Amino acid sequence: MEQLLSGLRAAGEPTRLRLLALCAHVELSVSELTQILGQSQPRVSRHLKLLVEAGLLDRFREGAMVYYRIAERTVEAHLARTLVDLLPEDDQELNRDLQRLDQIKRKRADLARNYFRENAAQWDEIRALHVPEAQLEREFLELVGDRPVADFLDIGTGTGRLLELLAERVERGMGIDLSAEMLTVARSNIEAAALRNVHVRQGDMYNMPVADNSVDLATLHLVLHYSDEPGLVIEEAARVLKPDGRLVIVDFAPHNEEQLRSEHKHHRLGFADEEIEGMLHECGLVSGASRHLQGDPLTVKIWQASNGAGHRTH
C-alpha cells in the first residue's frame, strides 16, 4: 500500500507526469529532458530525483551522462506504465513534448548515421569475408527457436541488431556494450523500430551490470574474437544465466586472416570447437548442437550451451 501511495504522490505533479510520459518512450538524459520541457536543469533534476526515489524511473550512468527510463518489473513500474497509459492523447502540452522528443531522436539518428558512414568501409570489409548476414540471421533464429524468453541479454550488442531480431520473441531485452558510439547507433536503431521492450546499457563484458541468475538467453554475437580472455567472458555470461538459461555464441572458426588482427583489433583468429566446448565446460555449461556456415575465407560457427544447474534438474 505504502509503495503505491508513494508512487502516486511522486507522480501527482504536472511536470513529473510529463517526465514519466517521455521516459516511457525512450531513455533520455537530463540535458535532453531539459530541452524538451524548457525548464532549468536543477528543477528537472529535482523532479527526476523524486521519481527515481519513488521507483517510477530507473537512473543509470553512461560515462559522463546520466540517463532515465521508465522502471521495470516492480509494482511501481506497473503503476508508472498505468499512469502513462491513462494520459489523454489529445493533451496539447504532452503532444508538444512528443514533437520535441522527435527532434531529439532525429539528432541521435544523425549521430548514428555519421558514425556508421565513417566506419562503413571496415564493416563492409569484414562482412565480405563470410556468409551473407541474412543467411547468418536465419540460422541463428532457427537455433534459438520459438521457446519463450522472458529476459534476454546481448553481450557486446554493437548496433543492437540482435535486440531487433529477437524483440518479438522476448519479454525484455538488454544489450551491453562498452562503446558509447555503438550505443548511439543501437539506440537510434531501437527507436527507429519503435521497440519498447529492449534497451541498451554501457558495460564491460568482463564485469556486467547484471544480477546473478537473471537471464534466460544470453548471446555473444561476433564478439568473443575481440577478447584476450574469452574464458572470462564466458564465465561472466554463465554467472548471469538462470538455472535453465541458454548461451549462444556466434564467432569464426580458426582462420589465417591476419589483417583482422592488425587492422580490425581482433585478438583471436577464430576458435576451434574443442576450445569453445572446453571453456563452456569449465564454466559449468552443457554444450548443445552447433552450426557450421562455410564461407570464403571465414567460416562462421554457432555454438549453444545451457546452464549445467538447470540441465541437472531435468
**Residue 53 vs residues 10, 131, 201, 277: alpha-carbon distances, Å:** 9, 49, 21, 45
Are residues 156 and 218 located together in one domain of the fold?
yes
CA distance 304 to 287: 6
Q: What CATH number corresponds to the domain at position 291?
A: 3.40.50.150
Residue-wise pLDDT tens digits, 189-234: 999 999 999 999 999 999 999 999 999 999 999 999 999 899 999 9
Give a yes or no: residue 9 inside a domain: yes
Domain count across the chain: 2
Q: Which residue has the higher pLDDT, 283 or 109?
A: 283
Please give the pLDDT value at position 123: 66
H helix count then E strand count, the chain: 13, 11
Strongest mean pLDDT among 2-11, 42-51, 121-130: 42-51
Residue-wise pLDDT tens digits, 126-137: 766 788 889 999
Contact by Cβ (8 Å): 241, 228: no
Please give the pLDDT value at position 42: 94
> Which of 82, 101, 120 delimits the end of a domain?
101
> Which of 60, 81, 101 delimits the end of a domain?
101
Give a yes or no: residue 232 inside a domain: yes
Are residues 75 and 194 located together in one domain of the fold?
no
Please give the pLDDT value at position 309: 63
Are residues 222 and 179 located together in one domain of the fold?
yes
Are residues 149 and 87 located together in one domain of the fold?
no
Q: Average pLDDT over the chain, rounded to whole?
A: 90
Please give the pLDDT value at position 313: 33
Give a yes or no: residue 118 inside a domain: no
Are residues 183 and 40 located together in one domain of the fold?
no
Give a yes or no: residue 82 inside a domain: yes
Eight-state DSSP code of residue 207:
B
Give a yes or no: residue 271 inside a domain: yes
> Which of 101, 120, 143 delimits the end of a domain?
101
Say if residue 311's pLDDT is above 50.
no
Is residue 91 exposed (0-12), middle (13-18) or buried (19+ Cβ within 10 Å)? middle
- The pTM score is 0.80
Are residues 143 and 262 located together in one domain of the fold?
yes
Are residues 97 and 133 located together in one domain of the fold?
no
Give a yes or no: residue 119 inside a domain: no
Are residues 146 and 295 located together in one domain of the fold?
yes
Please give the pLDDT value at position 314: 32
Q: What CATH number corresponds to the domain at position 34?
A: 1.10.10.10
Are residues 86 and 140 located together in one domain of the fold?
no
Q: Which residue has the higher pLDDT, 105 or 157?
A: 157
Are residues 12 and 158 located together in one domain of the fold?
no
Are residues 187 and 251 located together in one domain of the fold?
yes
Range of the domain at 155: 129-313
Quickly list DSSP for 245-260. EEEEEEEEPS---THH
Give a yes or no: residue 85 inside a domain: yes
Is residue 197 exposed (0-12), middle (13-18) or buried (19+ Cβ within 10 Å)? middle
Q: Which residue has the higher pLDDT, 34 or 127?
A: 34
Quick one: which of 183, 192, 117 has its CA closest to 154? 183
Contact by Cβ (8 Å): 67, 29: yes
Residue-wise pLDDT tens digits, 65-102: 889 999 987 888 899 999 999 999 899 999 999 999 99
Are residues 156 and 302 located together in one domain of the fold?
yes
Q: Which residue has the higher pLDDT, 234 or 265?
A: 234
Please give the pLDDT value at position 39: 93
Contact by Cβ (8 Å): 198, 167: yes
Give a yes or no: residue 55 inside a domain: yes
Residue-wise pLDDT tens digits, 167-189: 999 999 999 998 888 898 899 99
Say if residue 261's pLDDT is above 90.
no
